[in-house]
Amino acid sequence: MIIVIDGLNRHRYDRLLDEMFALRARVFGERLGWDVNITNGREIDQFDTLDPAYVIGVDDDGQVVSCVRALQTTGPHMLSEVFHEILDGDAPLRSATLWESTRFCVDTETLNHGKSRNSVSYATCELMIGSLEYAKNSGISDIVTVIDPIMNRVLKRSDCAPYDYIGKTTPMGKVSAMAALLDCTDERINRLRAFAGITDDVFVSAERAEQLSDQSDQFALSHNLFGLGTETRASLYAR
């Protein structure tokens, strides 16, 4: 299921955010070898201090399996500030109805292959549907997303091919990065839903969102009972 965490509710979701930053460290730091800052196994950059919106996929146990970060293109965002090479010195797009999505990733270590609920393919589609619907419901018409060629192939295979690209594909660590354009239309969302066989609402219910919050985090409590994950919890509660 998908949960959206932004500047208004992030104080209630320390655990989910911490797991997300750890996932980003594994994906962008280790797997893709991008030049990112990793501290204590967490990848956090300057844009995370700007109150972005995070669209996060959690599995049935409440663990983070996918995430993406969204920012408005009218203000500071990655293509305007740090991804100069992709734009080759050109000015970035800036529009009220265009969002930028960055740090799109899924946990390929814990998820399996195939198309079941616990597969990479399902998690990717669910996250795509969640982020496109969140944007569309906010009056956004298009998304410019910074992705690597592997994610680009995954999008194409999921019947969600970008309709165009901005700038040029640029070497970045072990792989390269590119800026792709996606429309937030019902047609695209329906194609994705048909491909993944997802017909239900992908967003968590208010009740589930409450369960996932730090105050009533049953997943964290049960792990603490068995002495698992105590180190992570201790560092979280110490803040």
214 belongs to the binding site for another protein (CB under 8 A): no
213 belongs to the binding site for another protein (CB under 8 A): no
- Residue 29 phi/psi, 5° resolution? -80, -55
Least Å distance, CB 138 to another protein, is 4
Least Å distance, CB 67 to another protein, is 15
As a whole number of angstroms, the distance between CA 194 and CA 61 comes to 25
80 belongs to the binding site for another protein (CB under 8 A): yes
Stretch that binds another protein, among 29-37, 108-116, 135-143, 216-224 (CB under 8 A): 135-143
> Using CB under 8 A, which of 113, 139, 187, 200 touches another protein?
139
76 belongs to the binding site for another protein (CB under 8 A): yes
E strand or H helix at 233: helix 230-238
* Residue 67 and residue 127 in contact, taking contact as beta carbons nearer than 8 Å: yes
> Using CB under 8 A, which of 36, 44, 82, 87 touches another protein?
87
Compute CA distances 126 → 7, 55, 65, 114, 166, whole Å: 23, 10, 11, 14, 25
Structure token pair of residue 107? 């946990």
> Using CB under 8 A, which of 72, 102, 131, 152 touches another protein?
72
